[in-house]
Amino acid sequence: MTLLDLANPTRFLSLTAKVLPWLAAATAILLAVGLYQSAMAPDDYQQGATVKIMFIHVPNAWLAMFVWGVMSLSALGTLVWRHPLADVSAKAAAPIGAAFTFLALVTGSLWGRPMWGTYWEWDARLTSVLILFLMYLGLMALWRAVEDPTRAARAAAVLTLVGAVNLPIIKFSVDWWNTLHQPASVMRMGGSTLDKAFLIPLLTMAVAFSLLFVTLHMAAMRNEILRRRVRSLQMMQAGQQAA
Amino acid sequence: MQPAAITESRNVMESAAFRLVGRALTCIRGGREIFADLGFSLSAGEALAVTGRNGAGKTSLLRLIGGLLKPAAGTIVLEGSPDESPPAEQAHYLGHRDALKPALSVAENLRFWHAFLGGERDSPPAALAAVGLDHIAHLPAGYLSAGQKRRLSMARLVAVRRPLWLLDEPTSALDTAGQALFATLMTDHLAKGGLIVAATHAPLGIATRELRIGGAA
Amino acid sequence: MQPAAITESRNVMESAAFRLVGRALTCIRGGREIFADLGFSLSAGEALAVTGRNGAGKTSLLRLIGGLLKPAAGTIVLEGSPDESPPAEQAHYLGHRDALKPALSVAENLRFWHAFLGGERDSPPAALAAVGLDHIAHLPAGYLSAGQKRRLSMARLVAVRRPLWLLDEPTSALDTAGQALFATLMTDHLAKGGLIVAATHAPLGIATRELRIGGAA
Amino acid sequence: MTALAALIRRDLRVALRVGGGALIGVLFFLTVVVLMPFALGPDLALLKRLGPAILWLGALLASLLTLDRLFTADHDDGSLDLIVMSRAPLELACAAKAVAHWLAAGVPLIVATPVLGLLLNLDGQATLAVALTLLAGTPALTFTGMIGAALAVTLHRGGLLLAVLVLPLSIPVLIFGVAASNAAIAGPDGFGAPFSILCALSLAGLVIGPVAAAASLRHGLD
Amino acid sequence: MTALAALIRRDLRVALRVGGGALIGVLFFLTVVVLMPFALGPDLALLKRLGPAILWLGALLASLLTLDRLFTADHDDGSLDLIVMSRAPLELACAAKAVAHWLAAGVPLIVATPVLGLLLNLDGQATLAVALTLLAGTPALTFTGMIGAALAVTLHRGGLLLAVLVLPLSIPVLIFGVAASNAAIAGPDGFGAPFSILCALSLAGLVIGPVAAAASLRHGLD
Amino acid sequence: MTLATMLGPYASFIVASYAIVGAIVVALIAWIALDYRTQKARLRELEAGGARRRSGRGVTDIA
Ligand code: HEM
Ligand SMILES: Nc1ncnc2c1ncn2[C@@H]1O[C@H](COP(=O)(O)OP(=O)(O)OP(=O)(O)O)[C@@H](O)[C@H]1O
Ligand SMILES: Nc1ncnc2c1ncn2[C@@H]1O[C@H](COP(=O)(O)OP(=O)(O)OP(=O)(O)O)[C@@H](O)[C@H]1O
Ligand SMILES: [Mg+2]
Ligand SMILES: [Mg+2]
């Protein structure tokens, strides 16, 4: 099994059909373990039980950014190598990434209310995640708006790459802007010295959510391939009737 | 802006034995295959009339040659081109849309394309006279009738010299005199060693070879 | 949206002896006089071919009849119209521009005009079939070739019945089969007592009277 | 009636398809609102104070972004000729087009207001008040803008007049809209007066807009 | 070179004659500024503090308004086909079009700034600083917006969808533009850093914009 | 010991965040599964209707 084999959509379908159940099972198991570990995790001396939100908030936030990275790679595949599976991968990833971003926002807000006393703050990190969310939604709208998938793929690829350049700039500039106007009122635990009691469930959950992404992405890619087959069959039928 | 005519004595078209060759072309648009495995070849001084039913893919073929569409398979080359440039850069494309800005005058429109397209050129006023529009050079292009717009597009072919003409139903909207005029222009162009590919439903008034595209609609 | 055909037995065109009469028409556009003192008259079942050089004023005359331009002098009336309505409301206008929205499908485009124009109507699917577009009814109109767009415009003439047809170079972009089809449609329309005024440079394939507009360009 | 309903349906469909769908309107306002803190700084109190103005600016922008081609698009593809010739009175056809435009560009804003209110830290009642003023006032934006859109067809060089005429016309709408919203946020007392003016502007627009647009189209076609 | 100069000259001429774009932009800019005092209430100090932000917001939104038909207009009349086929590299042609657009729509904004500064109670030096940042930053707005304009051709889409795609891309420009202006008003010290970043953004846009636009046009024509 | 006492004063926030994550993840899975079914069904329908993918088109056929 080489990468070239994977390039063939039919090959991809049959291969993933074998892999998918195992992946799904692994995801389920790891998620269960992670959930158990987080339930058992002790309260933080400062944050109390709300620290439990961290175990879902942080993986979602990480994935929100990771998925854009996956889409950027796919965009390169579309523009540079014209790889048909790259289009499929980019399109399938967008809604999943948007969902993770949404969850990072929601869990963050729900954590912010007890911690900072407000659901929303125009803080640097929060704002850049919101922008990320908007960009996901824009990209999904773009995919939806154009019937012809190859045409949409190229436009989406250009936009994804420009967005990939832009996001760090936003993040960086927003940081800068916040320190300029007022000191960040953000209380962070800092990724530095996290107690093992929190670190282990967090990492388990992070791995579990990553697996969840891989599984969902693969399944969504399969759907997308099928959708394109349906489309080309429909087109061909129209052509046959014409002839 | 572009003052006078640039009339070099050297003429690209005469100096090179051009041949436009398309091989095994397949065109897919909007997910539907328009035509497959189409081939043609055309030497300097020849005109090819592309015919076929509505929706057969005549316009699509012209756009493939002009590089405005990418073929799903196959190649198009202009053999004998001195500088290896793609056919698009050696070609004039006269499509359904006239590439005119209604707010600019007739003369301004032509002068723009004259300056923008570059290469060997004749003077714009002479070109306007050649298509019979010199008396309305100052009118905004938005005021022109359908046939007058077509004539203004034709003026572009005269003002800027390109060896390959891609013409999409060039005589539509032209009156009888206009069609005769256009036939003369094409004959001249061919005599100078030019090539013409024209999609058409009506006779062009010149000797042509015919490429019939199957397909339906 | 518009389910089935509305085929009343009463037919406006048959019941009234229509006559379209233009008297002493002068048309001024952009400050220039296009034509002056033009008159014509046309009875039910007759077709008038308006001819003339490019820029003579053929399109302008059609637009005068359709009420899209106001004559500087003269009148145009549809005599024998049952309800004193202006010619515009009794007319179909088929201009150079196809009045199609590229984002809507072929069927949606036709259904819209069918519902919007109102009056006596036939079913849109039947009209699509009549012009040979039924197999691509679901395609976005933006995907159509030039001739297919023209056919879709023709479908409007079939789907909604109007006694007076104003046609501006109707056969341009149509293939041979399309032109024959259109000739049949026009013959049918005339046989039912309709009127046709068509600006054209090419023979229409039906018996016509001719109105030649002088002018130049 | 069928004719007008068909026109509304078509324009809506085109707007949604070309603009990317019904949700895009909401997304657009979200984007505009998210933009504000970047310019104004992350000062929640200030944002809250500016909230209504931001929402109203978004409304104006959304209607301008889509209005300028309201009639020119139909003119360019030849539809306008047929609409003018049709049996439906041109005034009503213009009104129908305006309604479709408002549904596609105005309503999403009103629907999105609660979400945006959250981001701008407005409380429930204030959000409701702003939504109400938008509901009352955005038709006025559409109807005044329509006059400019019709002029743009008439005068081929017409963008100029479009801008000169329309934007000043919409400034009163903006001012009263913002005033009414601010009044509602401050307390229920001052709300009535600007709100009724806003309604009056919309009603006046409903009459004047289509009539003026139709007149300009009728005289301006060529 | 002649080719590109001709393109710039043509686009400028069309813009000035048709009038629409540039003037709508300036008037919208004006509207945004005029609206602010009403939104903020009679707080002159606050108005002055927010001045640069308001001007920058106005500039961003105004450029959005005028950009969307940058390429679609050429596509609709068939010019774009010829431009793509021509011997001038498409990237340079795109850049030329952007330059023309900036001259027609961006420069008037900068020229209008002093007038608007008066309305916002900015003193002379502050106004100058804002105008300077606009001069350095609006090209970046044009160049990022250009990507959206090219996508509009590729996608056959327009209106709000494009605004949604383009606005997030222009956020950094907004941030640094406002930061530089504020710094200039506060004192000459902090001005350098954000201003040079703004210039860098414009330069980066000068490269990325035309390349991305050309890529999208090349793939997207049909 | 109820959930609320175990999770302290902010139980509702914790439960809500877990619930929302759960709901969205389930929704994603359901959407993907449903999508798979509909595509499969449409494919079967089309193939029953006589449409057949041409072989040898290889990679391009999904585009
Ligand atoms: C809507 C609100 C919020 C959003 C959008 C958000 C977003 C993010 C993002 C994007 C990350 C990953 C950053 C990185 O790894 O560099 C993150 C990590 C994190 N967030 Fe949040 N967050 C929000 C609210 C909160 C709140 C209220 C807290 C706690 C008081 C919090 C605590 C954390 C922690 C502890 C991490 C891990 C930090 C690390 O990896 O170093 N977040 N959040
Ligand atoms: N919008 C306009 N404003 C001013 N003058 C116009 C306008 N449209 C056309 N004209 C002028 O009116 C004259 C007649 O135009 P018209 O379109 O009626 O000609 P036509 O007979 O249809 O020509 P063709 O055969 O080319 O279609 C032309 O000389 C043209 O320049
Ligand atoms: N933009 C497009 N997207 C998808 N399909 C298209 C597009 N344009 C044209 N087509 C389809 O491609 C086929 C060929 O179109 P083309 O315009 O090449 O036909 P043509 O031979 O020029 O016809 P005509 O004689 O009507 O001009 C048509 O069936 C049409 O539906
Ligand atoms: Mg064609
Ligand atoms: Mg004409």
Complete DSSP assignment for E3-25 = HHHHHHHHHHHHHHHH-HHHHHH
Residue C216 has pLDDT above 60, yes or no: no
**Which residue in D19, D49, D76 is closest to E159 by CB distance?**
D19
pLDDT band at E100 (very low <50, low <70, confident <90, very high): very high
Residue F52 has pLDDT above 70, yes or no: no
Q: DSSP of C128-169, one letter per residue? A: HHHTT-GGGTTSBGGG--HHHHHHHHHHHHHHB--SEEEEES
**Proportion of chain F above pLDDT 90, given as a percent:** 40
Q: Work out the average pLDDT over B188-193.
A: 93
pLDDT band at B11 (very low <50, low <70, confident <90, very high): very low
Q: Work out the average pLDDT over B65-82.
A: 88
Touching A: which chains, 3+ CB pairs < 8 A? B, C, D, E, F
- At D168 the pLDDT is 78
Q: Cα separations (Å) of E75 from A130, B136, E82?
A: 34, 26, 10
Q: Is B73 helix (H, G, I), strand (E, B) or coil?
A: strand
Contacts of B63 in chain E (CB under 8 A): 81, 222
CB C169 within 8 A of CB B146: yes
User: How far does residue B57's CA lie from ligand 3's centre (Å)?
Assistant: 6
B95 pocket-lining for ligand 3 (C-beta < 6 Å): no
B29 pocket-lining for ligand 3 (C-beta < 6 Å): yes
Name the residue with higher pLDDT: E142 or C10: E142
Residue C192 has pLDDT above 80, yes or no: yes
- At D156 the pLDDT is 62
Helix (H) or strand (E) holding F27: helix F11-48
Nearest-atom number in ligand 2 for the CA of C27 is: 12
CB B156 within 8 A of CB B111: no
Distance of CA B165 to the CA centre of its chain: 3
Report if residue A230 sits inside a domain. Answer: yes
pLDDT band at E211 (very low <50, low <70, confident <90, very high): very high
Q: Work out the average pLDDT over E41-61.
A: 84
- Average pLDDT along chain B: 87
Q: Are strands B47-51 and B209-212 parallel, antiparallel or unpaired?
A: parallel
Residue B38 has pLDDT above 80, yes or no: yes
Tokens of E115: 């007038």
Structural domains in chain C, CATH included, are: 19-212 (3.40.50.300)
D32-45: per-residue pLDDT in tens? 888 888 888 777 77
Residue A183 has pLDDT above 70, yes or no: no
**How is chain E split into domains, by residue range?**
2-220
B157-174: per-residue pLDDT in tens? 999 999 999 999 999 889
E114-131: per-residue pLDDT in tens? 888 888 878 888 888 889
Phi, psi (rounded to 5 degrees) for E221: -70, 150
**If you count them, how many residues does chain F have?**
63
Looking at all shown ligands, the one closest to residue C215's CA atom is: 2
User: How far does residue C194's CA lie from ligand 5's centre (Å)?
Assistant: 23
- At C92 the pLDDT is 95
Report if residue A119 sits inside a domain. Answer: yes
Least Cα distance to E138 among E181, E182, E174 occurs for E174
Looking at all shown ligands, the one closest to residue F10's CA atom is: 1
Report if residue A243 sits inside a domain. Answer: no
Chain C residues 127-156 within an 8 A CB cutoff of chain E: 142
Using the Cβ of C132 and the Cβ atoms of chain A, whether some distance falls under 8 Å is answered with: no
Using the Cβ of D9 and the Cβ atoms of chain B, whether some distance falls under 8 Å is answered with: no
- At F11 the pLDDT is 79
Rg (CA), chain F: 23
Chain E residues 53-82 within an 8 A CB cutoff of chain B: 76-79, 81-82
User: How far does residue B144's CA lie from ligand 2's centre (Å)?
Assistant: 5
Domain that holds residue A127: 23-180+203-237
Residue D13 has pLDDT above 70, yes or no: yes
- Determine whether B183 is exposed, middle or buried from the number of CB atoms within 10 Å of its CB (0-12, 13-18, 19+): middle
Phi, psi (rounded to 5 degrees) for B85: -75, 150
- Among C27, C28, C34, say which to mutate for ligand 2: greatest number of ligand atoms within 8 Å of CB: C34
Report if residue A12 sits inside a domain. Answer: no
Q: Work out the average pLDDT over D150-164.
A: 66
pLDDT band at E22 (very low <50, low <70, confident <90, very high): low
State the nearest Cα–Cα gap between B31 and chain A, in angstroms.
6
Residue B91 has pLDDT above 90, yes or no: yes
Neighbouring-strand partners of residue B5: none
pLDDT band at A171 (very low <50, low <70, confident <90, very high): confident
The residue ranges of DSSP E strands in B100-185, in sequence order, are 164-168
Name the residue with higher pLDDT: B152 or D185: B152
Instruction: Determine, for residues C117 and D3 on separate chains, whether the beta-carbon distance falls below 8 Å.
Output: yes
Lowest mean pLDDT among B39-43, B195-199, D62-66, D76-80: D62-66
pLDDT band at C148 (very low <50, low <70, confident <90, very high): very high
D68-104: per-residue pLDDT in tens? 788 988 998 999 999 999 999 999 999 999 999 999 8
Which residues form the pocket of ligand 2, taking CB atoms under 6 Å from any ligand atom? Answer: B 143-148, 173, 175; C 29-30, 34, 52, 54-60, 199, 217; D 222
Using the Cβ of C104 and the Cβ atoms of chain A, whether some distance falls under 8 Å is answered with: no
Distance of CA B74 to the CA centre of its chain: 22
Neighbouring-strand partners of residue C26: C73
pLDDT band at A194 (very low <50, low <70, confident <90, very high): low
Residue D196 has pLDDT above 60, yes or no: yes
What sign does the CA torsion over C175, C176, C181, C183 have? positive
3-class secondary structure for chain A?
A: CCHHHHHCHHHHHHHHHHHHHHHHHHHHHHHHHHHHHHHHCCCECCCEHHHHHHHHHHHHHHHHHHHHHHHHHHHHHHHCCCCHHHHHHHHHHHHHHHHHHHHHHHHHHHHHHHHHCCCCCCCHHHHHHHHHHHHHHHHHHHHHHCCCHHHHHHHHHHHHHHHHHHHHHHHHHHHHHHHHHCCCCCCCCCCCCCCHHHHHHHHHHHHHHHHHHHHHHHHHHHHHHHHHHHHHHHHHHHHHHHC
Name the residue of chain D whose CA is nearest to A170's CA: D38
- Among B33, B34, B63, B166, say which to mutate for ligand 3: greatest number of ligand atoms within 8 Å of CB: B34
Contacts of A234 in chain F (CB under 8 A): 46, 51
Phi, psi (rounded to 5 degrees) for B84: 60, 15
CB D48 within 8 A of CB D127: no
What sign does the CA torsion over A73, A79, A80, A81 have? positive
- At A188 the pLDDT is 41
How far apart are alpha carbons B197 and B95 in whole angstroms?
A: 12
Tell me how many domains chain A contains.
Answer: 1
Residue A59 has pLDDT above 60, yes or no: yes
How far apart are alpha carbons F25 and F12 in whole angstroms?
A: 20
Q: Work out the average pLDDT over A176-184.
A: 47
The residue ranges of DSSP E strands in chain C, in sequence order, are 19-29, 32-43, 47-51, 73-79, 91-94, 164-168, 195-199, 209-212
Report if residue A139 sits inside a domain. Answer: yes
Name the residue with higher pLDDT: E63 or B164: B164
